[in-house]
Amino acid sequence: MATSALTVEDICAGYGSGAVLSNMSFAVDEGRTLALLGRNGVGKSTCIKVIMGFLPPSAGEVRLFGDPVTRLAPERIARRGVGLVPQGRRTFKSLTVQETLTFAARSGPWSADRVYEEFPRLKERRDLHGVQLSGGEQQMLAIGRALTTNPRVLLLDEPTEGLSPLMVRELEGFLRRLRGSGMTTVLVEQNVKLALVVADDAVVLGTGRIGFRGPAEDLAARQDILDTELGVG
């Protein structure tokens, strides 16, 4: 029987008096990649904030390998094994690439050297500061920074946003390899076609509801849902 690495159960959350998520539930089995999809404004990034502890929910529970983490501080959730690649990259301007990949590293299979193997361009720029990198290189660095904490669950929030087509293809290749490595991953992504080829499972958020929950290949075959829920013709 598969083990649920991450469980989001009946989560309600929002900002001020405005509700964004209402009784949202899904689970990610250990070693699988879940694509969390939906139109702008339906609450995908809000869900990531709830999981990471940045936004306390008004109801519901988040569990990591069965243990509740719902109202823990973000740093405690990170120490429990959740890594985040945030929307907008947020690389550290004052740190070099090498410093970024080592300052929060934990023991495990992912080291700075392994990140350099995945992203050779970063190795060439290891002595540059984050602000000196291109957008695509900053995204590589943000991913590498999360991986060197050796998380049990990795959250990626819009990793292809603002990237060139060439960089998107490079990132797609990496996400395929990451899926094959057994990493448990939640991918929030506007590029639906990319998401469905790198994910095992998919959840589609609608306004205040879930419009689909199931295998990614099943969603790829449901043009009606792709049209109505995601606007993918």
pLDDT at 1: 59
pLDDT band at 88 (very low <50, low <70, confident <90, very high): confident
pLDDT digits (tens, 9 = 90+) for 45-83: 999 999 999 999 999 999 999 999 998 999 999 999 999
pLDDT mean across residues, the chain: 93
pTM confidence score: 0.93
- Domain residues for 127? 4-230
CATH number of the domain within which 104 lies: 3.40.50.300
User: Count of domains in the chain?
Assistant: 1
> What is the SS3 string spanning the chain?
CCCEEEEEEEEEEEECCEEEEEEEEEEEECCCEEEEEECCCCCHHHHHHHHHCCCCCCEEEEEECCEECCCCCHHHHHHCCEEEECCCCCCCCCCEHHHHHHCCCCCCCCCHHHHHHHCHHHHHCCCCEHHHCCHHHHHHHHHHHHHCCCCCEEEEECCCCCCCHHHHHHHHHHHHHHHHCCCEEEEECCCHHHHHHHCCEEEEEECCEEEEEEEHHHHHCCHHHHHHHHCCC
